[in-house]
Amino acid sequence: MVTFYKPPVKKVVEKKACKVTCTDLDLQGRGVARDDKYVYFVDGLMPGDVANVLQDNVKGKIVTAKITKIIKPSEKRQKADCEVQSRCGGCSMQHVPDEMLIESKVKGIEKLFFKALNQSLPPVSFIHREDSHNYRRACRFAIRGDHGKLYLGFREEKSHNLVKVSKCLCLTDRINEAITPLTKVINTLKQKEHLGHIEFLDSDGALGILVRITKTMCDEDCMALETFGKEIGAVISVVEPYRDPLVISKVEVTRERFICGSVEDLFVISHGVKIKCKPSSFVQINKNINEKMLNTVLTMLGAQDNQNIMDLFCGIGNFTMPIAKTGAHVVGVDIVSKMIEDARNNAKEQGLDKAQFEVADLEELFENQSWAKAQYDSVVLDPGRQGAKRATLFLAKKKVPKIVLISCNPLAASRDVQELIKAGYEISSWGVCDMFPRTTHVEMIIEISLKDCKK
């Protein structure tokens, strides 16, 4: 007799909304609520809110949930000051007062590091904050078509849909003023269907605009953009496919080509040092917070004449140049060769002969390069969200007396600091920079010293 397998019938549990009162915010900006059975983590909820929430996922006593109705909003809940707040994913925390939000980030970091290191952080030394409006000097807009017309916008939260944007409270006035006229211009372009996205950089010089396109831009479209650039006094470049006619190869690369203006017109001032850049260059988007961050890092390093300092993940030299200005010899290292080339040119033009720049992938074998074998008094590193695992292990082995870590990802930072603690280091001081107000983002600066080398 043949026996057929019948899978067990899964019991479908109907999800029901339950009433909760939010008491805290976690490091991801989620509201935290508790009852006798569960701890709830809910996007959009803030301390003081009473709401009905629907369970989304249950793991042990931890529940992620969604708001179905806010029964009684917190007295501190801020009213929307942006017309696309409910759709745009840019400022997900604008309903929370700035002071409450940054305090919750500090508390979240303290809990995270205590769990990772099994020891408490020292009291927070500083919290750098600025105005939460008109702070953003660089941004990227996606482009979409609607009934034959193109528009610029930001993505909806947790979606690929685009929200049309003609003005943003976070952007500088000069960027906001350029959005609508630029939208009109790109709708006149012959190759508008090949456009990728638009980037703005409101530098300390001119306004920079970068146009990405999947096809080499034709002369007529270049002229239209050049005319627009001259009208508003902007530097405009295009990133497009390119095949070098002098190289026997079928491989296309991309190049950045200036349509209007030049690199002479576009620059940022970092702690008194003029750094020329391109519309495609990465710069710290919050100018005022960046200046405070530079002050803090230079103080922690104690940079002075005759010191030897290393700057890992240096970019175009945001830290490297001001360090060199103190008289210290500094080696800046980054993987992007074009940025290193620009940094070298800037250092030469500024007369900063103690600034040296090297190209290296800090996630691959780099330890045998001559700059890595040298001895250093201190190191500053500002990695991306993935952290600096390999570089941290290298520094721990090298026993550099002082390390200043800037991190946009506290989780990655806690992992990297853990390795340094194992190697005999300790956290001397730390603080946060509210680089992106009204968001879940937080920037950390951590001063880490080798115990035997502490003064």
Q: DSSP label at 171?
A: B
Q: From the candidates 18, 22, 168, 408, which is the catalytic residue?
A: 408
Positive or negative: CA dihedral 395, 401, 407, 412: positive
Predicted local confidence at residue 452, as pLDDT: 74
pTM exceeds 0.95 for this model = no
Predicted local confidence at residue 83, as pLDDT: 84
Return the H-helix or E-strand segment holding 421.
helix 410-422
Predicted local confidence at residue 451, as pLDDT: 87
Predicted local confidence at residue 392, as pLDDT: 96
* Contacts of 49 by beta carbon, 8 Å cutoff, 6+ apart: 21, 22, 31, 70, 72, 73, 74, 77
Interior CA angle at 263 toward 261 and 259, to 5°?
35
Predicted local confidence at residue 204, as pLDDT: 97
* Active-site annotation holds for 277: no
Residue 313 contacts residue 388 (beta carbons within 8 Å): yes
CA-to-CA distance for 355 and 362, rounded, in angstroms? 19
Nearest to 416 by CA among 384, 447, 391, 441: 391
SS3 category, 429: strand
Written as six digits, the tokens of 356 are: 């040296």
Beta-sheet pairing, 253-260 with 267-270:
unpaired
* Contacts of 267 by beta carbon, 8 Å cutoff, 6+ apart: 203, 204, 205, 274, 275, 276, 277
Nearest to 443 by CA among 451, 452, 433: 433
* Contacts of 227 by beta carbon, 8 Å cutoff, 6+ apart: none
Low-confidence stretches of the chain (pLDDT < 70) are: 1-15, 245-252, 453-455
Positive or negative: CA dihedral 185, 187, 188, 190: positive
Predicted local confidence at residue 5, as pLDDT: 59
